[in-house]
Amino acid sequence: MSDFQLTRTLDEDAADKALRADVLNGLTRFPKELPPKWFYDARGSELFEEITRLPEYYPTRAERQILLERAGEIAVVSGARTLVELGSGSSEKTRHLIEAMPGLRTYVPVDVSESALTGAGELLLAQHPGLRVHALLADFTKPLHLPDSEGPRLVVFLGGTIGNLLPPERAEFLASVRAMLSPGDALLLGTDLVKDEAVLVAAYDDAQGVTAEFNKNVLAVIDRELGADFHTADFDHVAVWNREREWIEMRLRARQAVTVKVRALDLLVPFEAGEDILTEISAKFRQDGVRKELAGAGLELTHWWTDASGRFALSLSVAGG
């Protein structure tokens, strides 16, 4: 592909090193925890795609509705010649933006999956032969050096993924995004909004049990990659709304006392009956809170769009001089 370029910033064994460190640190602390990024092997990605189609799980549909309705407006107000997507995956949602941006010259997808980057790049170039795609194989939670490209730039971070970060991590992440931007560049951020507790819990604990299987998949990943002997039947999926912090917590709860061996780490992990592993937080937001967090990173919120039901928001914020 003459207009496709891939820059690798991850070592071949980076994922293995990170998994080992996260499992060792997470399962030897109290309370135990594991980062949600380890849900997403091939099976986990399939399960998440299934989740997005469930009646209870509204965020994907709500965000897509906003993109379909507002893509043209986003294109105009951003004036973007370069589009940078953090955690791009299949780039499916971003295509709505690309199609609405006749002045777009360069698309920079950033992801940890090389196959996802090349697959999305091939499809986009077939659909938009004049587009330049410069993919970055990189961890977007770490500082990034973007390729040279024409401004203004629009960085997009969709799906409400920012809610998986704790407040200090969000502050660090937003500061790193601001460091990428020049005056006049912008950030398009997807945030799920605070709403009725029953709606929120149902979105993370569906009646069909797909989210439960997705949550338990992290144990299957550890079993396969690190030679552990987790049995998913020993753990229950739990979704809890934390009212004080306004976030959903997904946990795996031991049904009985059990000890798990992680052979690659020479580690024994005891669990008491009823003990939890925190596998994900998913923070929900209010407009004033989003504005304050962006301002703390030197970004000014200028546009705020929600879906028809006010469940989800896309915000555009700009970098000042």
Mean pLDDT by 10 residues, the chain (321 residues): 80 88 97 94 90 96 95 95 91 88 92 85 87 90 86 95 96 95 96 97 97 97 97 97 98 98 98 98 98 97 97 95 66
**Whether CATH 3.40.50.150 fits 63-140+147-195+286-319:** yes
Residue 1, pLDDT score: 45
Residue 164, pLDDT score: 96
Sheet with 132-137: strands ordered across: 4-8, 132-137, 106-111, 82-86, 153-157, 186-192, 312-319, 299-306
Single-letter residue type at 111: D
Residues 6+ apart with CB under 8 A from 146: 84, 108, 136, 153, 180
Quick one: how far is CA 51 from the chain centroid? 14
C-alpha span between 218 and 234 (Å, rounded): 14
Q: Name the CA dihedral angle for 40, 42, 43, 46, rounded to a multiple of 10 degrees.
A: 90
Residue 2, pLDDT score: 56
Residues 6+ apart with CB under 8 A from 234: 254, 255, 256, 258
CA angle 207-218-235, nearest 5°? 60
CA angle 160-133-88, nearest 5°? 15
Domain range list for the chain: 28-56+206-283, 63-140+147-195+286-319
Residue 141, pLDDT score: 83
Residue 321, pLDDT score: 66
Give, to the nearest 10 degrees, the angle between helix 167-180 and helix 287-296: 60
CA angle 7-10-13, nearest 5°? 140
